[in-house]
Structure 1
Amino acid sequence: MKVIRVLLVTTFVLGTLNAMAQAPADANTGRPVTDDDIAVLRQDIQADKTEIITRNMQFTDEQSKAFWPVYRNYAHEQQVIGDQRVSLIKDYAANYDHIDDVQAQSYITRALKFEEDGLKLRKSYVAKFEKAIGAKQTAKFYQVDSRLTLLVNVQLAALLPIIK
């Protein structure tokens, strides 16, 4: 039950991040949402992800010592790739109601590149995670990571308007 609560909190936090990324200004202050605002929210999300991973993986002390350094590198690289998505979301949110064909093609290309880069990253870390925690635990981690990614994607789908 606690895992469900953590997932719901994470979903809410992810939704907040994505809503802020598309909003031109903070609804509470009226000021524009800054990259610093997004960075702080990303830190919060990463903390929630770490808790969810910890609860689901149930590492031994040895596995934990081996896993977390690899994961930190993986998460950092995910964030670098995620910067592409944040940029795309901000650009899209500012223009979705008057997109022309050139912009639409650019959005398609950028979105596919984000997805492709994410897949390449996941593939590139399989051997690193397997070395740290073994194949079975790596498969389990990828299940957890995949579910967290799905939560983000569902939130984005719910928050981003369709092109007019």
Structure 2
Amino acid sequence: MKRIILTLVLAGFTFGAFAQVSKEDVAITQAYFKKDKKALVHDVLKLSDAQGHAFWPVYEAYEAKRVAISNKRIAIINDYLKGYHTLTGQEATALTGRLFANDKALLDLQKSFFNKFVTAVGGLNAAKFYQLEYYVQSVVRMRVQDTIPYIGETDAHQ
């Protein structure tokens, strides 16, 4: 049952692949933090008006690219959920390789935007943003991972 619900939820997320804010992030962030990610970033960074004017366009550009990467991860998870109970070694290796590539793409994106954030709001606020970003990403991944069955697990074992 858990697998069916997660599959439906994740399938729904893929339809908004190029939405400005990922529905996955919104749902999990709102459930865990009681607010959306942008509001959370606003509350944590406490930027002046001038800093906000410089920060938010960079943040929006970053989020658009991050959401695209996040949606690719959702596609990988959907592919896994379609056959996790009969996964072959070759399929598992391919999925894991895709996850590694996805993780690298996210890290490359974060690294490519760091200096833009530093320019916009200074090193401390840029580092603070990434501290929050890593935390939110960890929570999102943990929540999703918590609902994904292990390879070979069947509904009878849940």
Report the TM-score, using the length of structure 2 for normalisation: 0.79
Is the 8 Å Cα contact of residues 69 and 106 (structure 2) preserved in structure 1?
A: yes
Q: Give the structure 1 partner of residue 137 of structure 2.
A: 149
SS of the equivalent of 1:162 reads coil
Identity of aligned pairs, percent?
26
Is the 8 Å Cα contact of residues 51 and 121 (structure 2) preserved in structure 1?
A: yes
SS of the equivalent of 1:161 reads coil
For the residues of structure 1 that align with 2:114 and 2:128, how far apart are their CA atoms? 12
Q: Give the structure 2 partner of residue 41 of structure 1.
A: 23
Any stretches of 5+ residues in structure 2 without a counterpart?
30-34, 153-158
Is the 8 Å Cα contact of residues 16 and 23 (structure 2) preserved in structure 1?
A: yes
- Amino acid in the other structure paired with 1:41: K
The answer to whether the aligner puts 1:135 opposite 2:117 as a matched pair is: no
Is the 8 Å Cα contact of residues 84 and 151 (structure 2) preserved in structure 1?
A: yes
For the residues of structure 2 that align with 1:127 and 1:34, how far apart are their CA atoms? 30
Q: Give the structure 2 partner of residue 12 of structure 1.
A: none
* 2:102 counterpart (94, 103, 114): 114
Shift of 1:153: 1.4
For the residues of structure 1 that align with 2:14 and 2:145, how far apart are their CA atoms? 22
The answer to whether the aligner puts 1:86 opposite 2:74 as a matched pair is: yes
- Amino acid in the other structure paired with 2:23: L
CA RMSD of aligned residues (A): 2.5
Is the 8 Å Cα contact of residues 62 and 113 (structure 2) preserved in structure 1?
A: yes
For the residues of structure 1 that align with 2:100 and 2:14, how far apart are their CA atoms? 23
For the residues of structure 1 that align with 2:54 and 2:92, how far apart are their CA atoms? 43
Q: Give the structure 2 partner of residue 95 of structure 1.
A: 83
Report matched runs for 1:24-63 at 5 Å. 25=8, 33=12, 35-36=14-15, 41-42=23-24, 44-45=26-27, 48-63=36-51
Deviations 1:13-40 (A, max 9, x none): xxxxxx86x42x46xxxxx747337767
For the residues of structure 2 that align with 1:128 and 1:71, how far apart are their CA atoms? 9
- Amino acid in the other structure paired with 2:91: Q
Evaluate the alpha carbon distance shift between residue 63 and residue 79 of structure 1 in structure 2; reply closer, same or farther with a 3 A threshold: same
Q: Which runs of 4+ in 1 moved over 4 A?
A: 37-40
Evaluate the alpha carbon distance shift between residue 36 and residue 72 of structure 1 in structure 2; reply closer, same or farther with a 3 A threshold: same
Alignment length (residue pairs): 140
The answer to whether the aligner puts 1:66 opposite 2:54 as a matched pair is: yes
Any stretches of 5+ residues in structure 1 without a counterpart?
1-18, 27-31
